[in-house]
Chains A and B, each alone.
Chain A
Amino acid sequence: MDDATAVAQARAGDSEGFRLLVERHSRALFKLAYRMTGNEHDAEDVVQEAFLKAYRSLDRFEERAQVGSWLYRIAANCAFDVLRKRQRRDGRLESLDGDDAPEPQAEAPGPDRLALGGDVRRHLDAALERMSPRERAAFVLRHFEGRSVKEIELALGMDTTAVKQSVCRAVRKAREVLLPLTGAVS
């Protein structure tokens, strides 16, 4: 049974259709959620919430749309919610998204102290942690997932300018952290 048929079946009240969608798409959504949240437990929650939201909005699904893309957008949005919630919990302010926000001070160990591989990962993790939820979500979708600005707009409910600004700020933060490593590999 293909996705469109499974959706139609679920809409008609047959749980088997929705079960198929869950079983078919869970792994992809988990991978996306993990990339966005960087946390296994949060990623599991995102998968659950995404399918719950999808189930509740089955009637709003447009038949011409791709089921996978629809679920992907819902999951990305759920992961974005987790990032925003995490930021609130950490007591940081949304205003850090603003142009006048202080730029984070990048750790800058010299290239001689850095072994490529694990250190790149560690520095990148630090860079991701320093990004605001918008920046991180937009960057992950653009850079890791290869999604276009248009697709990111739809997934995160942001306008074109906000998506582009978020990606650019995220890249700036990543570059600051990774700058010491670029000499070592070039």
Chain B
Amino acid sequence: MTHLSDDDLVLLHYREDEGSEAEAHLAGCAGCADRLRALGRTLALVQAPEAPERGEDYGARVWARLRPRLELKEARPKVVPIRGRLWPRAVSVAALAAALILAFLLGRRFPEEPQPLSAEVRERVLLVAVGDHLERSQMVLVELVNAPVDEAMNVRAQRALADELVSANRLYRQTAVRSGELALAAVLEELERVLVEVAAGPDALTPGDLAELQRRIESRGLLFRVRVIGSHVREREKELPRTSSAS
């Protein structure tokens, strides 16, 4: 008599082999039945790890983080891939924000504004712009880091966005240095290196190039640092008193 293999027993344990010859054998073989019971005892020890608790508001927090990454297609009939449409808009917003910040820092006024902007308003605009910039930069890093390295990757969209983000990044970094925000400046400097590398690279990365790029991003913990500093910027933004007009 040929007894059941360990794999047969595993499939029987999980009821994935019901009605098979293995099950018929089991009915008449006390030895195999004993082995199946022993397997059951061992697997009964294997309990799922306890997942850290997530509160009732977890879904809302996921949504808050997710929303900026979605191209919300208000009143649009079709879903279009994010790469195709969000980024040009993101680019223009970043460029506009960069221009605004530069103007504010140079102490200029909008032609329509009779009064100069207050320090609080300037700081809020700066924080919002830097926060948005870091989120968009994260998108580039996340897509690169999460791409499978067993195939070539078309990075044309990422490259175009990185190209636009570089100039804004440089402006924010210089601003951070001038205002003594050295931690922010350091992260922006690291980020700039990667953005420049992506922007100056080819539209298609070989698996080797992609793996190397991922290694560099990960070895510096860049994605994590961008997330942390981005979160810090958002916190500071929330802490600022809300003012509806310039003082």
Q: A49 in the interface, Cβ–Cβ < 8 Å?
A: yes
Report Cα–Cα, A143/B67, bound state, in Å. 34
Report Cα–Cα, A22/B62, bound state, in Å. 7
Residue among A15, A81, A181 with most chain B CB within 10 A: A15
The interface residues of chain A lying within 8 Å CB-to-CB of B73 are: 13
CB contacts under 8 Å to B, within A17-48, are 18-19, 22-27, 30-31, 34-35, 38, 40, 43, 47-48
The 8 A CB mask of A155-186 against B (1 = contact, 0 = none) is: 00000000011011001101100110110011
Known: A167-B10, A171-B10, A179-B42. A89 touches B77 (CB 8 A): no
Instruction: Tell me whether A26 and B54 are in contact (CB under 8 A).
Output: yes
Instruction: Tell me whether A35 and B59 are in contact (CB under 8 A).
Output: no
Q: How many A residues touch the partner, as a band?
A: 35 or more
Instruction: Tell me whether A149 and B63 are in contact (CB under 8 A).
Output: no
Instruction: Tell me whether B45 and A185 are in contact (CB under 8 A).
Output: yes
The 8 A CB mask of A47-60 against B (1 = contact, 0 = none) is: 11101100111110
Instruction: Tell me whether B16 and A120 are in contact (CB under 8 A).
Output: no
Instruction: Tell me whether A178 and B45 are in contact (CB under 8 A).
Output: yes
Instruction: Tell me whether A35 and B218 are in contact (CB under 8 A).
Output: no
CB contacts under 8 Å to A, within B28-50, are 38-39, 41-43, 45-49
Known: A19-B63, A168-B11, A182-B42. A40 touches B52 (CB 8 A): yes
Report Cα–Cα, A57/B70, bound state, in Å. 12
Instruction: Tell me whether A13 and B60 are in contact (CB under 8 A).
Output: no
Instruction: Tell me whether A178 and B54 are in contact (CB under 8 A).
Output: no
Instruction: Tell me whether B16 and A149 are in contact (CB under 8 A).
Output: yes
Instruction: Tell me whether B51 and A43 are in contact (CB under 8 A).
Output: yes
Instruction: Report B239 CB to chain A, min CB distance, Å.
Output: 24
Instruction: Tell me whether A174 and B46 are in contact (CB under 8 A).
Output: yes
The interface residues of chain A lying within 8 Å CB-to-CB of B14 are: 142-143, 167
Q: How many B residues touch the partner, as a band?
A: 35 or more
Total CB contacts across the A-B interface at under 8 A: 127
Instruction: Tell me whether B59 and A23 are in contact (CB under 8 A).
Output: yes
Known: A13-B76, A85-B146, A167-B14. A35 touches B62 (CB 8 A): no
The interface residues of chain B lying within 8 Å CB-to-CB of A22 are: 59, 62-63, 66
State which of A120, A125, A172 has its C-beta within 8 Å of the C-beta of B45.
A120
Report Cα–Cα, A58/B46, bound state, in Å. 36
Instruction: Tell me whether A143 and B46 are in contact (CB under 8 A).
Output: yes
State which of A11, A30, A121 has its C-beta within 8 Å of the C-beta of B54.
A30
Known: A30-B58, A52-B69, A59-B78. A35 touches B48 (CB 8 A): yes
Instruction: Tell me whether A88 and B69 are in contact (CB under 8 A).
Output: no
Report Cα–Cα, A78/B141, bound state, in Å. 17
Q: A148 in the interface, Cβ–Cβ < 8 Å?
A: yes
Known: A43-B51, A148-B16. A23 touches B45 (CB 8 A): no
Report Cα–Cα, A89/B76, bound state, in Å. 40
Instruction: Tell me whether B74 and A55 are in contact (CB under 8 A).
Output: no
CB-based nearest B residue for A51: B66
Known: A18-B70, A48-B66, A164-B11. A175 touches B149 (CB 8 A): no
Report Cα–Cα, A91/B70, bound state, in Å. 33
State which of B10, B42, B82 has its C-beta within 8 Å of the C-beta of A178.
B42
The interface residues of chain A lying within 8 Å CB-to-CB of B52 are: 34, 40
Of all A-B residue pairs in the complex, the 4 with the closest CB atoms, nearest first, are: A23-B59, A144-B48, A34-B51, A26-B59
**15 further interface pairs, Cβ-Cβ under 8 Å (given A48-B66, A52-B82, A171-B10):** A13-B74, A13-B75, A19-B67, A22-B59, A26-B54, A38-B49, A48-B62, A52-B66, A56-B81, A121-B49, A143-B43, A167-B10, A175-B42, A178-B45, A182-B42
